[in-house]
Amino acid sequence: MRPGLTTGLRMRQELKVNPRLYQAMDLLYMPLLDLQAHLKQELVNNPFLDMVEPIEDELEEPEEKKDEDEVDWEEILLNGFDAGGRRAEFEEREYFTPTAAATRDLWDHLHDQLSLMKLDLREILIGEEIIGNIDREGFLTCPLGQIFEAVNNYLSDPNNPWAMDAVDPDHPLDLSPITAEDVEYMLGVIQAFDPSGIGARDLRETLLLQLRDREEMDTLAYRIIHDHFDELVNHRWSELSKEHGITPQAVQAAADEVSKLDPKPGLKYSDSSDAYVIPDLTIEKVDGRYYVFHNDTTLPRLKLSRSYREVAADRGQFEGENKTFISKKLNSAQWMIQAIEQRRQTMLKVMNFIVDRQRDFFEKGVEHLRPLTLREVAEHIDMHESTVSRVTNEKFVQTPRGVFPLKFFFSSGLSTDYGEDVSARGVRAQIKKLVADENSKSPLTDQAIVDLLKKDGVQIARRTVAKYRDQLGILSARMRKRV
């Protein structure tokens, strides 16, 4: 075959998404706070957008003659933004983007305590290496041998800052290798830091450290953790009672004391900044009916700027880039106002359908939550399933029963004897209630829970009960049993 160039015609179909469609999808996806920031930015970027002031809804400003300081909008549009007026007044103001203040974490807390200790530089180096290998839960994540090798490699490196300082006779430094005992000693120093139990290598060690700090090393709880940790984890009360010559009740009392200790002490200093939620929608019950309201009072209400609109009405006086700029910004402003209203109406449609479908939940509680899918909502409001997904993603609604994410109302269903489906979330709530009300000395097995649910008409398999129980963080019947 010979290479060559040829020309020809070919027909094909393509689907290209309009950039504004992407914008509309982004607007649907945005939570309330993100949308508020986005609209404020649009007000800055697009001169044709203006905010509706509350007073404008009540009375219209009378026409008055132009004030001496009033901005000449026509002059601005024709000749750029070098017109007079109050421009200098705004230029003097400087805007700073709000930023979150830095918070101190677990490692900062440990470094502060290390710096207060009377230690030599070699011990500080070992301590910093240990702290650097502690995870956010407070556990040491590497063996001591690895810390031993890392510190010695650093000390033997001729290019490290300490080696360079060592040539100064006024600042002699000991660069000889450290020993395993040095690492063990510094680990003990750090394990005495706050929070109690820090620097442990496993759960057993952190519990022992906490009891040591509480001066409870001579207690039954300490002996059980130290000598019979596996039996404690598996709730073998009878074996432990025989081992220590005491009653199973005494063993369980000691285990109850152990349960009060912190299994992850480092989380006490993790980033615990509160995440505030502003509901996008509000549901109120009035005269026995539920009404859905859009919680958009904090959103800037947009309108077309009257001044810019009047000037842009006579486009014949504009040419070239000015005319293109005006058409582009005016169309963008009109589209933005329509897109915000469309988003608002879509969210109301989705939430109204959810309220109609989940009325039993609002009346009786989560046990009566019905199964619901995105497809059902999409078919009802005549929109695509992906649109409903964007509307419900990261959105919250304030209801008479509390604040819930919109995704809360969607779950799969299980069959019942009376012909209706029940939500999987509702079944989990029933299981949680059954376990909460059980006799602790004779806890419900998974099969017993299956039998009780079947009495209520819910058809469910034992393995499904076990799965839901694990999702709820509920232990098995043997582990829940009290003596």
Residues listed for the chain: 483
Q: Extract long-range pairs of 255-262: CB within 8 Å, 24+ residues apart.
A: 255/221, 255/224, 257/219, 257/221, 258/207, 258/221, 258/224, 258/225, 258/232, 261/197, 261/206, 261/207, 261/210, 261/211, 262/195, 262/196, 262/197, 262/206, 262/210
For residues 36 and 300, what is the distance between their CA atoms, to the nearest angstrom?
Answer: 7
pLDDT 10s digits, 345-392: 888 999 999 999 888 888 888 878 888 888 888 888 888 888 888 888
CB–CB of 28/346 below 8 Å? yes
CATH homologous superfamily of 414-480: Homeodomain-like (1.10.10.60)
Q: What's the sign of the alpha-carbon dihedral 361, 367, 370, 374?
A: positive
pLDDT of residue 59: 47
Averages of pLDDT over each 10 residues, the chain, 483 residues: 70 60 71 80 81 56 48 47 40 47 80 89 88 92 90 77 54 72 92 93 94 92 92 88 87 89 89 70 90 82 77 67 77 82 88 90 85 87 85 88 88 64 80 86 87 83 87 84 77
Type and span of the H or E element at 284: strand 281-286
R_g of the chain, CA atoms, integer Å: 34
Domain ranges in the chain? 16-55+73-88+274-410, 106-269, 414-480
CB–CB of 308/48 below 8 Å? yes
pLDDT 10s digits, 35-93: 888 888 888 888 877 777 655 554 444 444 444 445 454 454 444 444 344 333 334 44
For residues 374 and 387, what is the distance between their CA atoms, to the nearest angstrom?
Answer: 9
